Amino acid sequence: MAKLNTSYITFEELEEVVTLLKNISDFDLRGYTKSSLKRRIQRILDLQGMDIVDLKNAITNIDGFQNFLMNEVTVNVTEMFRDPQYFAMLRQEVFPYLATYPRLKIWSAGCSTGQEVYSLAILLEESNLYERSFIYGTDINNQVIETAKKGIYPVKKLKLYSENYHATNAPHSLADYYTAMYENAIFNQKIRNNILFSQHNLATDSAFNEFQLISCRNVLIYFDIELQKKVFDLFYESLSEFGFLCLGAKESLSHHNIMSKFKIINKEFNIYQKIK
Amino acid sequence: MLPAENIILIGGSAGSYNLILSCIESLPSVFSAAIIIVIHRNPKFITKIEETLTVRLKRSVLTARDKAIILPNNIYFATAGYHLLIEPNKTFCLDQSEPVQFSRPSIDVLFESAADAYTDKCTAILLSGANRDGTDGLQHVYHMGGEIYIQSPAEALMSTMPESAIAGNQNAKIWKNEQIISFFQKLK
Ligand SMILES: C[S@@+](CC[C@H](N)C(=O)[O-])C[C@H]1O[C@@H](n2cnc3c(N)ncnc32)[C@H](O)[C@@H]1O
């Protein structure tokens, strides 16, 4: 519905909220793109019937509100085998290289509700690499991490997921990997064995392991250039020699200085390899 | 390079493509603004509007890339499947939050963020379409001091979008197709 324009929050008000949150919580939204963040905050105000003063009060005084706010601010849309051609490319171009390692550690950063992680697990399994792999799925949003851990998705979503899966030139049927129960599809234990989900904030937390492949897709568009740079440094530090960095369809390393330490493996799908 | 000081926004949906084409075909080779276009398109059909137009017009027509600086004398299209927003520092920003008015990219989202970033240096034109995307966006452009124009519903192939916009924006000027085209012809 049309609303009065005067009810829109201003950038100054947005700044106040960001500063408040930064000062009294672990959440630091300073590096998020302002136009997008402003819409997210506006949406929360509209849904909750709050104004900016209410919001600041809630952040300060209501237990659990900071978490709620972060969960609502983040955009969590995801699907299995999102951009199927990207997954086909991983299978063809990257996995043969990964096969030369005796053990593989993989990080899906900003994994949302886990679909990307289970997709990677299936892909690795089909290339006979899953047994020697361990996948860490992390996200800032504790709610999506809980969903990811369960590995249960509504059956009605599986049609799209199956289509995507087939579009990767997959050898099997996606149904081989889950059990349907009533409205839900539960991914099999075999696929879930070598996965750990946990909360991690790319803006403030540090490196926690060394990986042969980092997948951070559709997360960096929400960050400004400076925060992107910081996160790329974190990824660089977290990658083993000749490790791979995979970004989303609209995310590229090419305008960053750190590009000089990487080689482009696939330009269209933004797959890079650390070479220095 | 410094970002464009003025921007001209075009929002169009069903029935707007040919008029958008005529507008950019009639542009002079040099103009100072950046032109930013949202046309609703289905991400499942990878329509290469930008490539087609680049060849046809013999000038580059770009896809608005995340974090790119908005440059003068350029024509940008919003990419399918993402909202296109403008940052206060005059760069593009993509986001995949919920569709607005069943649309992503949504005209409202571009117009509102553009108005915030460009205030009175922003002109918005809304064309034919079968939904009501753009109505709120035009309000905000006007509210921030920008100029707003709506295609005459009588000439629009789909009149829902302009009619909704007119109902929500008493201050908008209503333009016939030839006025819209001549606006682009005379750009400097
Ligand atoms: C659009 S989802 C992408 C999911 C998946 N990677 C994909 O491509 O389908 C973006 C995710 O990034 C997460 N995110 C946002 N800011 C973050 C931060 N500072 N640290 C870690 N994750 C973050 C969000 O919570 C959200 O789940």
> What are the structural domains of chain A?
11-73 (no CATH), 84-274 (3.40.50.150)
In angstroms, the CA B182 to CA B177 distance is 9
CATH number of B7-185: 3.40.50.180
pLDDT classification of B156: cutoffs 50, 70, 90: very high
Regions of chain A where pLDDT drops below 70: 1-7
Atom of ligand 1 nearest to the CA of B96: 1
Which of A25, A27, A74 has most ligand 1 atoms within 8 Å of its beta carbon, as the pocket-test mutant? A74
Residue to substitute from B94, B106, B118, B133, interface A, most A β-carbons within 10 A: B94
Tens digits of residue pLDDT in B64-118: 999 999 999 999 999 999 999 999 999 999 999 999 989 999 999 999 999 999 9
* Helix segments in chain B, DSSP class H: 17-25, 49-57, 107-118, 135-143, 160-168, 177-185
At B45 the pLDDT is 57
Contacts of A8 in chain B (CB under 8 A): 112, 140
Q: Which residues contact B93 (CB under 8 A, 6 or more apart)?
A: A33, A35, A36, A221, B66, B67, B84, B85, B86, B87, B113
Strands A104-109 and A211-216: parallel
This prediction has a pTM of 0.94
Residue having the nearest C-alpha atom to atom 5 of ligand 1: A111
pLDDT classification of B43: cutoffs 50, 70, 90: low
Tens digits of residue pLDDT in A126-145: 999 999 999 999 999 999 99
For A72, the closest chain B residue by CA position comes to B97
CA–CA distance from B168 to each of A46, B122, B147 (Å)?
20, 19, 15
Structure tokens at A144: 């999506």
ω into A84 cis (within 30 of 0): no
Contacts of A228 in chain B (CB under 8 A): 67
Q: Is the model more confident about B59 or about A197?
A: A197
Residue carrying the six token digits 């922003």: B122
At B57 the pLDDT is 87
ipTM for this prediction: 0.93
Average pLDDT over chain B, rounded to whole? Answer: 94
In angstroms, the CA A244 to CA A212 distance is 6
Give the closest of B66, B88, B136 to A251, CB-based.
Answer: B66
Contacts of A221 in chain B (CB under 8 A): 66, 82, 93-96
